[in-house]
Amino acid sequence: RVGILQQTTLLERGTELRSEPVGAANTTCRFTTAFDVPLQPITLKSADIKWPDTRSSVVTLRFALDRGVELSSLDVEKLRLFFFAEPAVASTMRWFFASNVRRVTYRAGGNTVELSGPEAIHGVGFGQDEGLLPFGKYSFAGYRLLMEYFSFRPKFWFADLLQLGRLAPESGVSEFEVEIHFDRPYPEDRKFSTENIRLFCTPVTNLFDADSEPVVVNHRASEYRLIADIQRPDTVRIYDIQSVTGRVQATDERHKYHPYFGFEHHASDARHFTETARVGASGNRDVYVALGGLGEAVSDMEPETLSIEIRCTNGDLPRQALQEGGINQFAPGVPNVATVRNITRPSVERMSPAEERESFLWQLVSHLALNKTCTATPEALVSLLRLYDWVDSDANRLRLDGVRNVSWEPAEQMFRGGVIRGAEVTVEVQDGHFPDDGDLHLWGTVLSEFYSMYATINSLVHLKLITSPSGKQFFWQPERGVQPVF
């Protein structure tokens, strides 16, 4: 809201957004933000691109401050850009802004700051705190990146401008300029305008916290079905269980049930629960809870009422009922300093393909022992990637069918006076299987991050992509592994 915001205000990751009630059941669709969003009293006024010669290109972004705002009063160490365009344009923009910047110049008043590309701008979406879906602390985050690439590539169509705070203009300066020099000519057929760069954007997911309907257990059934909202069983569905607490009806004694795979209950006789899901008669995903670790004969147990905290989704309702602008409210308690609206239509709900793909779950279990052999051949790499392609679209199948060869060679790199050993991985892909170079580069970036996540901290992985038969080459900086060694 112009004029209301006078300083940086942070909307933290997990901020809840809502729609108006929609559908036959009058359901409010609820969403949570995936990224932190620092709101600033800043507007992008123009975005221009020029080609000074045949080997480079320059983008100039001009920003204006709201009336009465001083740049020095803002926390602008990071200003995030979202590339809001057709996929071919957006992926090309992400590629250039995140990987092809030679230098960046900031100007405000008479002050100028010049930085190298890596100092001034980088891509977004690969941080541990930037995941779309919740992953358990025991889960491997590399799989999450693969799933996000195949399911929702716009999550990566962002770039951060860094160190804007180094500008220190004199009082009264109401505009500043960012000049980005690319090390290659930007494709003229992918030209963009001011409308294609948006500020203060974040992906949102249709997940929100709630309490299930109370469950009365007599300890004679092996499992109990959970209901999120008895008034809206089809439009408020359970995604997963957060916590389970039992209250004995006769004595009011309370028991905490721990997740079975959380290991907290193994140190003692603590109670635990397991969660299972299967498709019900309605075609929806029904969730059941089973209790264990009770340590008593069933005949001696008193009935309990379970209070269960759950994470919910509205299923396919957002896709069916909401258009652009339909998500237009903050949840109660969020500071009223901005308006909110979705600039794209909600995506299609994606379900696990376990029901359709034979041996899908067994293949997932095999990845608990992930190692080099899982990606050492084209067939192995494609088999792994296909597990995380839940969309199974023609475009995704074409991408995976384009993998022609994978090779591993020993590699070494000097680091702080020592030698780090690892591997150089070369992946050859067929021309024409990716829609454009920007999309291919994003796929390679995801793959490079994936390799580094399962390499150990005392090793490195250097990824190289080669297209065939054109011979284009894409390189990534050698990434040191992050897995601890015991």
pLDDT tens for each residue of 432-447: 999 999 999 999 999 9
| pLDDT confidence bin for 456, thresholds 50/70/90 | confident
pLDDT digits over 80-90, tens only? 999 999 999 99
pLDDT digits over 392-432, tens only? 899 999 999 999 999 998 887 777 777 788 888 999 999 99
State the maximum Cα–Cα separation within the chain, in Å, rounded to a whole number: 85
Question: Is residue 213 predicted with pLDDT exceeding 80?
Answer: yes
Give the per-residue pLDDT at 38. Answer: 95
How much is the CA Rg of the chain, to the nearest whole Å?
A: 26
Asked if 77 and 160 touch (Cβ cutoff 8 Å), the reply is no
| pLDDT confidence bin for 480, thresholds 50/70/90 | low
Question: Is residue 2 predicted with pLDDT exceeding 70?
Answer: no
User: Taking all residues of the chain, what is their mean pLDDT, rounded to a whole number?
Assistant: 90
- Cα angle at 310 between 295 and 21, to 5 degrees? 155
- CA 404, distance to chain mean position in Å, is 28
| pLDDT confidence bin for 49, thresholds 50/70/90 | very high
Q: Which residue has the tokens 């994936």?
A: 450
Report pTM: 0.91
Give the per-residue pLDDT at 364. Answer: 81
pLDDT digits over 134-168, tens only? 877 767 888 899 999 999 999 999 999 999 988 87
pLDDT digits over 330-380, tens only? 999 888 888 999 999 999 998 888 777 778 888 888 777 777 777 889 999
Q: Which two tokens stand for residue 2?
A: 């112009």
Distance, first Cα to last Cα, the chain: 52
Burial 125-152 (b: 16+ CB within 10 A, else e): bbeeebbbeeeeeeebbbbbbbbbbbbb
User: Where is pLDDT greater, at 401 or 300?
Assistant: 401
Q: Which of 106-110, 170-174, 187-191, 242-246 bottoms out in mean pLDDT, i.e. has the lowest?
A: 170-174
Best CA proximity match to 29, nearest among 346, 447, 304, 241: 346
- The C-alpha atoms of residue 397 and residue 387 are separated, in whole angstroms, by 12
Question: Is residue 485 predicted with pLDDT exceeding 60?
Answer: no
Q: Which of 52-66, 310-324, 444-458 bottoms out in mean pLDDT, i.e. has the lowest?
A: 444-458
| pLDDT confidence bin for 453, thresholds 50/70/90 | confident
Q: Which two tokens stand for residue 157?
A: 């169509």
Asked if 388 and 189 touch (Cβ cutoff 8 Å), the reply is no
- The C-alpha atoms of residue 128 and residue 150 are separated, in whole angstroms, by 18
- The C-alpha atoms of residue 6 and residue 12 are separated, in whole angstroms, by 18
Give the per-residue pLDDT at 296. Answer: 65
Mean pLDDT along residues 238-253: 92
Question: Is residue 306 predicted with pLDDT exceeding 70?
Answer: yes
Q: At 293, which amino acid appears? A: G
